[in-house]
Every structure is written in C-alpha cells, then in structure tokens.
C-alpha cells in the first residue's frame, strides 16, 4: 500500500507537526481501526516532494505504523482496547512500514529522530510493484542483529536451524539464532510464517545497504 503524503499537503512542501501528520494518515488510521488493511501488509510512505519534516510529523506517520507492527509482534494475546478509543492511537496490528522519496535533508531528520530511540527503519531506494528490491537501513540496529539481517538477506527464506547449519564456525546455538530472528521480526525487518515446528523468515527488503 503506497501513501503519497505530498498529495495531502496544501500550498506548502513542509510537513510539520503532529496535527498535519494525523490528518494525512486518516485513511491508514481508519483502515487499521476497522481491519480493512490486510494484515501483513507493508505500508510504503512516500515523502517525495516534501522538503521538510519534523519529529512530530514522523511520529504521527512512520513511527505510528512501526509501533502498531511492533505491538502485534510483542503482544502475547490480543488486547481489549479501552472504550472509547481514538483511531489515531497505536494498537497491535500486523503491519510493516518503509519510507521512500527522502531528500538528503529529510534523511538527516529521520536519522536524528530514530537513532536516540534505537529504532531501525527501511528506506526504500527501489520499488517494483509490491516488492522492495533495494533499501537503505536508517536509524539504529544492534551489530549482532545487523549481521543476522545480512545473513537472512542471502536467502529467499530461512529458519533458525538452517542458519545454524549455514554458519557452523560462529558457534551460535539454534536457540540464539531463533532469538535474533524473533528480534528482527519484532523490529519489522523480516516476515515470518510457520514451517512445521519452526518459523520461516524472509527479508522485507530483498537487498539492504548500510552507510
């Protein structure tokens, strides 16, 4: 699902403030609140044509989607939301998110927003239909998880036991591989499906580059 944020701006190219962000995300908020966005979807937020953003706008847009996805991965059981609940409140919902169309200045703004929060975010550099063919990782990712993400990126799909067999010299247990993969899934950097008794993981972006 592609959301072109610039089209929602009026007479300006600056996207500033939580109020503007919430207005631009209304369709997404409603889709999550009413369950009309398919679970497992990757929302591509296109900031192309926008010349300036601030932390409040990022929080209401990209961080909102990321938070919903993280809550879905880390919540043990579905939560009964308090009543009434505003559509703009994050809630557990299986979503992935990436941004695209960032200028150099916007990328700096995202980095300054993400790094203190120790959060990673995918910046799509090349999209083909519903696939992220090439991306850059913004923000912060633990070095061990970064190595794990690179290992996953070498395969279409992979499980923890398969990683254990592929990297015998690393002396990492299957349990440790599984924990790392689970952490990447919680950070919304890999997808997973059940494959027998194991989880099978695949990267959200086919190729990820680092600075």
Per-residue pLDDT for 204 more than 50?
yes
Residue 187 has pLDDT above 60, yes or no: yes
| Region of poorest pLDDT, from 48-52, 84-88, 149-153, 204-208 | 84-88
pLDDT of 197 above 90: no
The encoded tokens of residue 38 equal: 């398919």
Angle between helices 143-153 and 174-186 (to 10 degrees): 90
Q: How many Å apart are CA 30 and CA 51, to the nearest integer?
A: 27
Where residue 85 falls among pLDDT bands split at 50, 70, 90?
low
Average pLDDT, stretch 159-176? 91
State the pLDDT confidence band at 82, using cuts at 50, 70 and 90: very low
Ranges in the chain annotated CATH 1.10.10.10: 142-211
Q: Compute how many other C-beta atoms are within 10 angstroms of the C-beta atom of residue 50.
A: 21
Name the DSSP letter for residue 170: G
Tokens of 157: 């799909």
Structure confidence at residue 209 as a pLDDT band (50, 70, 90): confident
Residues 139-157 as b/e (b if ≥16 CB within 10 A, e otherwise) read bbbeeebbebbebbbeeee
Q: Does domain 142-211 have CATH number 1.10.10.10?
A: yes
Does residue 181 have a pLDDT over 60?
Answer: yes
Q: What is the pTM of this model?
A: 0.91
Measured between its terminal Cα atoms, the distance across the chain in Å is 27
């Amino acid at each position: 699902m592609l959301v072109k944020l610039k089209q929602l701006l009026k007479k300006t190219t600056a996207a500033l403030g939580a109020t503007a962000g919430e207005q631009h995300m209304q369709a997404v908020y409603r889709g999550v609140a009413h369950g009309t966005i398919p679970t497992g979807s990757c929302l591509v937020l296109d900031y192309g044509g926008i010349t300036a953003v601030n932390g409040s706008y990022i929080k209401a847009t990209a961080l909102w989607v990321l938070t919903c996805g993280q809550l879905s991965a880390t919540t043990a059981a579905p939560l009964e939301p308090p009543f009434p609940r505003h559509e703009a409140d994050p809630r557990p919902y299986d979503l992935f998110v990436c941004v695209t169309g960032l200028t150099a200045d916007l990328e700096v703004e995202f980095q300054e927003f993400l790094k203190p929060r120790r959060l990673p975010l995918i910046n799509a550099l090349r999209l083909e239909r519903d696939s992220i063919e090439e991306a850059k990782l913004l923000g912060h990712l633990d070095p061990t998880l970064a190595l794990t993400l690179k290992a996953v990126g070498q395969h279409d799909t992979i499980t923890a036991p398969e990683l254990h067999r592929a990297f015998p010299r690393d002396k990492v247990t299957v349990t440790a591989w599984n924990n790392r993969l689970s952490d990447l899934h919680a950070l919304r950097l890999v997808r997973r499906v059940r494959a027998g008794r194991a989880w099978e993981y695949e990267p959200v972006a086919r190729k990820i580059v680092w600075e």
